Amino acid sequence: MKLLLASRNEGKIREIKTITEGRIEIISPLDLSLEVSILENGRSLKANAIKKALTYHKIAGMCTLGEDTGLEVDFLGGEPGVHSARYTNYGDVGNREKLLKKMGRGEERTARFRTVMALVLGEDWVEFFEGTIEGKIALEEKGNGGFGYDSIFIPAGYRETFAEMDEAEKNRISHRGKALKKVFGFLEREWEKLKDLCK
């Protein structure tokens, strides 16, 4: 089975290819040299996920998986949430700095990553999957692995940030790993219909 992944985020693409290895062949826009820019202006993760997936599905005509992820920080009323990618104009480094600054040394640091995936199998066949992981915002950046906000997020039950963790361990417990498990379950259930549709 082949899926086009509607993402240009290299960290995300790497993780999804690793998690799906041996089960699904993931093709990224970078593999196809597809240059598409999508304005992620939806009000929800779901709206952005479907926008990405439908846009690429229309262009490539392939079964397409889109996903949008947000980091929801309780002390900030759920922000940056759906605005996580463009929290500042200075990319991941600027985003992390801004968040740490806003948090200060405050004690209320609980947060979660939430991923919504939209799987487009045809113009009027779309399925949604969600995955979350609870945790807290670290006092400072730690670790060199992962991407995005990983170096400031400590998953519940752990002492290290996602960026200090082994990649396999992050994928086992992460928002993205959980959402993909649901995708696998769906693909297995619908295998008879999908084996010809998504080849």
- 31/188 with CB nearer ligand ITT: 31
Contact between 194 and 187 under an 8 Å Cβ cutoff? The reply is: yes
**DSSP structural state of residue 134:** E
Name which of residues 98 to 137 contact ligand ITT (CB under 6 A).
Answer: 113
Residue 92 to residue 98: CA distance in whole angstroms: 10
Q: To the nearest whole angstrom, how small is the minimum distance from the Cβ of residue 85 to ligand ITT?
A: 4
Q: Is 7 in the site for ligand ITT (CB under 6 A)?
A: yes
Is position 196 annotated as part of the catalytic site? Answer: no
Residue among 31, 68, 166, 196 flagged as catalytic = 68
Q: Is 84 in the site for ligand ITT (CB under 6 A)?
A: yes
The identity of residue 114, as a single letter, is R
Residue 20 to residue 63: CA distance in whole angstroms: 15
Q: Is 150 in the site for ligand ITT (CB under 6 A)?
A: yes
The identity of residue 43, as a single letter, is R
Q: Is 85 in the site for ligand ITT (CB under 6 A)?
A: yes
**DSSP structural state of residue 61:** -
Per DSSP, what are the bridge partners of residue 71? Answer: 81, 113
Given the rule CB under 6 A, which residues bind ligand ITT?
Answer: 7-9, 12, 40, 52, 68-69, 84-85, 92, 95, 113, 146-150, 162, 176
Active site residues: 68
